[in-house]
Amino acid sequence: MKNIINKVLLLVVIICGGSKTGFTQKTSSVKIQYVCTPCGIKCDKEVFAGPGQCPNCKMKLVDKKSIIHKSVSPSDLSKFLKSSKNLVILDVRTKGEFEGHGEPDFGTLKNSVNIPISDLEKGGYKGLDKNKTILVYCSHSHRSSRVSYLLTQNGFKNVVNLLGGMSEVTDNSVRK
């Protein structure tokens, strides 16, 4: 009889110990996943264990959950522009690139406004309406994905990044 009680006690200890390990595993699975801000290249889908820099696109790695902006592909751009209301089209390149003096010149979207990324990073977004949808673009979607992230971090709820940027846009009807 004593032997059986001992066995039961041993079993209880094993079960409790086991569930304790289970709990530890559960808490460690809520670890932060780090990603680079989506610009349209392959590394957008890669997940990293810690902060740092993306080895492919060199962008800063951020908490995956903090990326809340949306994206539009160059092939869907025309449809997106036609169907969007209350839209601000934001060109974040330099004034020269916006005016068509870039080398190469990738063109500029119709009805867009220009605030260079260097101004936006100093708070230049303050004049933009947070209730509007902001379509952000540049040449290759490196600057625009950084700006999209910056805007959502500062209270903008409807931000859309043009993946690939103007260099990937083949539809000339959207250009000035």
What residue ranges bind Zn ion (CB under 5 A)?
Answer: 36, 43, 54, 56-57
Whole-angstrom CA distances from 80 to 43, 72, 77, 84 are: 25, 8, 5, 6
Q: How far is the CB of 95 from Zn ion (least distance, A)?
A: 28
35 or 159: CB nearest Zn ion = 35
Under DSSP, is residue 103 helix (H, G, I), strand (E, B) or coil?
coil
Cross-strand pairs, 72: 162
The smaller minimum CB distance to Zn ion, of residues 35 and 88, is found at 35
Minimum CB–partner distance for residue 163 and Zn ion (Å): 13
When the beta carbons of 38 and 74 are compared against Zn ion, the nearer one is 38
Residue 56 beta carbon to Zn ion: minimum distance, rounded to whole angstroms = 5
Q: Nearest distance from residue 12's CB to Zn ion, in Å? A: 50
How distant, in Å, are the alpha carbons of 86, 139, 162 from that of 73?
Answer: 20, 13, 6
- Cβ atoms of residues 137 and 164 within 8 Å: no
CB nearer to Zn ion: give 52 or 100. Answer: 52
CB 143 within 8 A of CB 61: no
